[in-house]
Amino acid sequence: MEEKPYTPSIRSEKQQRFYETTNEDQYIEEDRASSVVNEYGHGNGSFLTAYFNVVCVVAGTGTLGLPKAFADGGWLGILILFLAYFMAVYSGIVLIRCLYYKPGQRLSDYKQIGTHAFGLPGYLVASALHLLNLFGCPALYVVLASSNMSSLLKGTAGELNYKIWAIIWGVFLLIPSLVLKTLKEVTAIAAIGAVCTMVAVFIIAIQGPLLRNAHPEVPVVHDSVIWQGFPVALSTIAFSFGGNNTYPHVEHALKKPHQWKWAVTIGLSTCTALYFLTAVPGYWSFGRETKSPVYSSLPAGSVPQIISMIVMTIHVIFAIPIYTTSFSLEFEEWVHATDERLGKFKAWCARAVIRTCTMVILVILAVFIPYFDDFMGLIGALANCGLVFLLPILCYLKLTGVRNKPWYELAFCALTLFLGIIGCVFGTIDSIKALIKDFHS
């Protein structure tokens, strides 16, 4: 008896059409998400590219200053650190939303966001804070790297003056600035820098408690809350979450820009985990006597201190090109120094001039302001409180509206603005007083 070929039922045909339609819609959505790449000129960077860039820029020298921030503000710093984490994640996400607030259009950087939100005043404020951060943070990194090299080579044949080391690092860092055209080419550098930070964190997390347990006779004093140190502690923690002004460039280098919210969330979560591993054991081990950077609290010349200084020097040196490249890209776009307009060779020459001048300014700042702790507090208070806690929230509410937000989101925005104002105003005043005292002494 001849078997009849199987004929699917009407129901199974409908199911098949449903599954085919569903898969087709899924592919269309994926293609549509990928098409954003070409629509706004995004790069080919992966999720890991953005993740490592965020970690390398954010988890830098701020990691080393957090135990001192706890010493300034007491154990209340734990609460501040938690709040700053959530605020930094939120501001990093809404900042990128501001770039796309107009359908079919993408703003290019922080200054354009300020301009579209508040006109000329917004442009001036955003530009001032942006430039202070883009020059202040890498200059601070040059300060740390130069100080570390002076300490590491002290008493040896390679001992050099702090200022000479600042110039040497400036010349050395000019090379990657001239070679690397965009941020997507800095991925390997960012990954190495992130690993170096993790090494330093684990050294402090392990060696600090071991040192305290080995010397129980040394008194260690802790405070629950130090209200007069609250603004400085907040500004240092704000510095630890700085990096917002590089986010538009990092997101623009992503092949799939819809991955940004996950990249910034996971990146800042990694940074916060490292912060707690440094801040809590560091403050518990050294108390009020905690220094910044925290490895200065370890015994001078000890192996853990030397390793910490080496790996953090590597980190900050690898983080500087991310800042300088971000600034150079914006300035080159402003003066139209592009390959299409000038040709490849002339465009490279223009980039070389811009990036050389940028590095010269960084070295000059590092030479004349060699006070790491108070310099970091000023940058954190004046620039990062504005860039992380104030400006993104204000621009987001102005560009996208207030009435369409739920009450809990508006309450969180209000809390972020309140803490940002306290850190910006009072933290700046305290940091300037400290710097004046440094220069007089």
In a domain, 29, yes or no: no
Helix ranges (DSSP H) in 59-161:
61-73, 77-99, 110-152
In a domain, 27, yes or no: no
Distances (CA, A) of 87 to 93, 244, 418: 10, 12, 12
Scan for tokens 């209200």, then name that residue.
Answer: 227
| Cβ count near 167 (within 10 Å) | 18
In a domain, 30, yes or no: no
Nearest to 376 by CA among 192, 56, 165, 142: 142
pLDDT reading at 35 higher than 50: no
In a domain, 21, yes or no: no
Tokens of 238: 């704000």
Task: Tell me the one-letter amino acid at 391.
Answer: L
For the stretch 386-431, pLDDT in tens is: 888 899 999 999 999 888 889 999 999 999 999 889 888 887 888 7
pLDDT at residue number 238 = 80
Q: Regarding predicted confidence, which is higher, 99 or 340? A: 99
Q: What number is the average pLDDT over the span 177-201? A: 69
Split into its structural domains, the chain has a count of 1
Among 19-28, 42-51, 213-222, top mean pLDDT goes to 213-222
What region, left, alpha or beta, does residue 245 occupy, with left being phi > 0 and alpha being psi -120 to 50 degrees?
alpha
3-class SS of residue 74: helix
In a domain, 36, yes or no: no
In a domain, 89, yes or no: yes
In a domain, 131, yes or no: yes
Could you tell me the residue range of the domain that residue 164 belongs to?
Answer: 42-440
CATH code assigned at 335: 1.20.1740.10
In a domain, 23, yes or no: no
